[in-house]
């Protein structure tokens, strides 16, 4: 029983973070007119974790503000853009960090999701930081290949937490993991 309590404590410590994602900037590709942008906007506003959306028609971008403590699902954001007939050119997630030493291996839990932050090992994370989602289907094939060279982990290719990369840092196996670049 003592080992179970210890394991649960270590697991929760590994998942706890002092970070909160509060905003995302989405650039959609293929938008050619205001009606296209409106279609994406209408699709995005149905997401339960989105509080409000601002649009930038010149950049074909949408700024999504999230509800406090909401579980944010980047795959649902991507799916809504695709349902409207377009694709994601880039997705930047902005998180507020509060004196967080960059976690070992870059694994962190934010807003109920598991993230693997590429680079910046040992750096103190503090304030608002914008991070690019570098997983497949969130970038062009050329850019995704570039980021694949930065990560030699199996979880980057599969999009799922895997052993030994993720489990060494207390992450559960076979969960969705997103990869971010600072």
> For 44-74, what is each residue's pLDDT tens digit?
999 999 999 999 877 889 999 999 989 999 9
Pairing state between β 177-181 and 113-118:
parallel
Task: List, edge to edge, every strand of the sheet that includes 61-66.
Answer: 50-56, 61-66, 19-29, 87-101, 124-133, 177-181, 113-118, 107-110
User: 3-class SS at 152?
Assistant: coil
- The model's pTM: 0.85
> For 116-144, what is each residue's pLDDT tens digit?
888 766 788 889 999 999 998 898 878 88
- Is-contact 161 171, C-beta < 8 A? yes
- Is-contact 60 37, C-beta < 8 A? yes
- Give strand pairing partners of 28: 88
Average pLDDT (157-178) is: 86
Domains of the chain and CATH, by start: 2-181 (3.30.70.100)
- Is-contact 9 2, C-beta < 8 A? no
């Amino acid at each position: 029983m003592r080992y179970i309590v210890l394991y649960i404590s270590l697991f929760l410590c590994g998942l706890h973070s002092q970070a909160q994602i509060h905003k995302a900037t989405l650039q959609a590709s293929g938008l050619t007119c205001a009606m296209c942008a409106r279609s994406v906007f209408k699709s995005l506003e149905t997401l339960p974790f989105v509080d409000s959306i601002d649009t930038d028609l010149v950049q074909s971008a949408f700024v999504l503000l999230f509800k406090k403590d909401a579980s944010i699902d980047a795959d649902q954001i991507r799916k809504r853009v695709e349902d409207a007939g377009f694709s994601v050119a880039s997705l930047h997630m902005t998180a507020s960090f509060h004196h967080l030493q960059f976690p070992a291996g870059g694994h962190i839990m934010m807003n109920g999701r598991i993230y693997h932050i590429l680079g910046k090992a040992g750096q103190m994370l503090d304030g608002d930081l914008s991070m690019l989602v570098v997983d497949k289907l969130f970038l062009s094939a050329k850019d995704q290949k570039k980021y694949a060279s930065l990560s030699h982990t199996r979880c980057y290719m599969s999009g799922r937490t895997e052993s030994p990369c993720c489990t060494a840092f207390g992450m559960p196996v076979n969960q969705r993991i997103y990869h971010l670049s600072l």
